[in-house]
Amino acid sequence: MRYIVVDLEATCWENIHDYDRMETIEIGAVELPSANGTPSREFNRFIRPTEEPNLSDFCKRLTTIRQRDVDKADLFPSVFAEFVAWIGEEQFFLCSWGAYDLTQFRTDCGRHGVDFPLSFERHINLKKQFARISSKRECGMEQALAQVGLPLLGTHHRGIDDARNIARLGTLVLPILESSGDISPSK
């Protein structure tokens, strides 16, 4: 089975957690051709926000995404279509650390009048599955990496770097899910 590990970065503000206000500004994704395989391809694109085009200082500090990165980027419909095309037709599970990314995709699709792909419903919340398998409380990706003795690689809160790190955790979780029958091509 093929897995697409995705991480989104979105507009954000210090001490404001209004998810309806947030817009995706980066899609980072890694393809795992098998549960315990090494990444075979990557996707990384910035997206220009439309409702609040100027990134907050907090957002720029947190993500290290610069205003000029998003100013020259394409809009969500174009980048999302490119992402869906990159994924391709072959069956896959979409994986992310938590449920946020799937919800943000739905929000942005609705905001821009883009059809939400039914294939994205085949989603694995690796954060939840990692906690279940390790019999620990759900935690952030950085803490999960530390729990299994893996260093954080790259810049935290950058979509592509987080997707790479989540994929590393995925190769620990996904084989267990496959062997237990929790995930299969028919699910």
Position 31 in a domain: yes
Boundaries of domain holding 73 = 2-179
Position 83 in a domain: yes
pTM score: 0.96
Query: How confident is the model over 8-31, as pLDDT tens digits?
Result: 999 999 998 888 899 999 999 999
Give me the number of domains the chain comprises.
Answer: 1
Position 186 in a domain: no
Position 142 in a domain: yes
Query: How confident is the model over 33-84, as pLDDT tens digits?
Result: 999 989 999 999 999 999 999 999 999 999 999 999 999 999 999 999 999 9
Alpha-carbon gap, residue 145 to 58, rounded angstroms: 25
Position 167 in a domain: yes
Position 126 in a domain: yes
Query: How confident is the model over 102-159, as pLDDT tens digits?
Result: 999 999 999 999 999 999 999 999 999 999 999 999 999 999 999 999 999 999 999 9
Domain CATH code at residue 45: 3.30.420.10
